[in-house]
Structure formats: C-alpha cells, structure tokens
Structure 1
Amino acid sequence: MARSPRSITREQRRTPLAVTVSAWVAPLLVLTGFAFVACVPVLIALIGALARARDRVVKAAATVLAVTYAIPFVIWQTRPDGAPSLSKDIHPGFIGLIVAASAALLLTLHGVRRR
C-alpha cells in the first residue's frame, strides 16, 4: 500500500526535507543568474546528505552536485581576469552539469523514498 506524503513521519523520512528543497533551488539559482548564491543550497544538500542520509547513492549524488558546482567556483576565484560575477564567468556546459547533477540527486531521493 502506497503512503501519501503526509502520512510519512519525520522519523520515517530518510533524508531531511532541506536536502530535497536545496536540490530544487540550486539549479534554479544557477539558471536564473544567481550562481554565487547557489553555494548555500549546494552546501545544505551536501551536509544534509552526508550527515543524515542512510543511502550511499544519495551521498554520492550530493557529492557530485557539490563537485560540479565547486569546479567553476574555484576557476572563477583563481582566474586573475575573471568576470565580476560567477554567473557571467560560468561556462554553459557547467550549468548543464549542475542541472544534471541536481536532477540525479532528486531522482535518487525519490527512489529512496519509494523503497
């Protein structure tokens, strides 16, 4: 018998709701031009998944999201001729990778909840 989302208690939830919300917000911020601010939900998703998730796949997906965000962030910080904002300096390929990594995290979270 399938449970409705309201019938799942906090103790039964395997990962915090903040991880799921952060996985939705991070690519939205990157796509709308607030890539620097996206570091907050990426960190929330990473810390929440590593600290509270029981499934290794969720932890791995959150780590992949953090790494795909960290690469352009570090490049932007270390380049002497970088743009004034991360949104202007980030390569579109990295935007696609961040969106894909976030989608993978959301799919793994959904798969864990269905089990």
Structure 2
Amino acid sequence: MPVTVSSPSSTTERLPRSAAIAAGAVAVMVVGQFAMLAVVPVVIVVVSTWRNVALRALRWWAAGLAVAFATPLVLWAIGPDRAPSLSKDMHPALAAVVVAAALAYVVAWVVVRRRRAVPATGE
C-alpha cells in the first residue's frame, strides 16, 4: 500500500517569530547604545530568513538590514581614529538607518503573516 505524504499548506504553516523578535532587538540595541552586541540579532535575522522557506518573501528586507548594519560597522573598523565602541562612533543618521531597516523588517514580517492568514478567495 503506497503512503502519500502531503506538505502543509502555506496558510496553515506559521511564520517563525524569531526573526521578527531579533529584528526588534536590533532596533532596541542600537537605540540603547549596544550597537556592537546587535550583530548577534542581525545574524539571527539573516540566517533564519535564508534557511526558512516560509520567510522567503523577507530575504530582501533581511539583506537590507544586514547592509544597513554592516555600513557603520565597516566604517568603525577601518576608521583611522575609531572610538572604543561602535555606538559612540556611529553617526546618528546611520543609527537611524539601522533602526529604520530593523523596524521595516518587522513591519514586512507582519504584512507577510497577515497575507498568509487571509484565506484564498475564488473557490
């Protein structure tokens, strides 16, 4: 007797919250002057977005967050007279860009979650 295995429907599969929570943590850490520690949630966002098929629609948002965070990090690392911490060296405009990118990821995650929750019409 053959066994058939059906994959879960895209509407019943839940989106993992770890990426959205980590993106929110990036914003909180940058605002709270813990920018160097924010590398951990940025890595969590990028890795979980790329490894989970359900988060495929958020890959561009994760890449944007990674680039937004990497820019001040690289500028801090290659700077001739760098401050003892990334938070003190980061320009406020760059900090605002990182926070905006993190919050944009969270908003995009919510939008994707709501689109997946809406039942398909036309049946």
In the superposition, the TM-score normalised over structure 2's length comes to: 0.79
Number of the residue aligned with 2:13: 12
Cα deviation for residue 17 of structure 1 reads 1.7
**How much does 1:51 deviate?**
1.2
State how far apart, in whole Å, the 1-side matches of 2:70 and 2:62 are. Answer: 12
RMSD: 1.4
Residue ranges of structure 1 left out of the alignment (5+ in a row): 1-10
SS of corresponding position for 2:33? coil
* Counterpart residue number, 2:102: 102
- 1:53: how far off? 4.1
Q: Residues 55, 44 of structure 1: CA spacing in aligned structure 2 closer, same or farther, 3 A cutoff?
A: closer
Letter paired with 1:64? G
Secondary structure of residue in 1 paired with 2:65: helix
Q: Which residue of 2 aligns with 1:8?
A: none
Gaps of 5+ in 2: 1-11, 116-123
2:40 and 2:94 map into 1 onto residues whose CA distance is 18
The letter of the residue matching 1:113 is: R
Which of these two proteins has the greater Rg computed from alpha carbons?
2
Deviation string 1:32-79 (CA, Å, 9 cap, x unpaired) is: 010000000011001111111445441100110010000000110111
Total equivalences in the alignment: 104
Q: TM-score, normalised by structure 1?
A: 0.84
Q: Which residue of 1 aligns with 2:27?
A: 27
Partners in 2 of 1:89 and 1:13 — Cα distance? 39
Would you say 1:47 and 2:56 are equivalent positions?
A: no
Per-residue deviation, 1:12: 1.1
Deviant stretches of 4+, over 6 Å: none
Letter of the 1:12 counterpart:
E
| % same residue | 38
Would the aligned equivalents of 1:27 and 1:98 in 2 still touch at CA under 8 Å?
Answer: yes
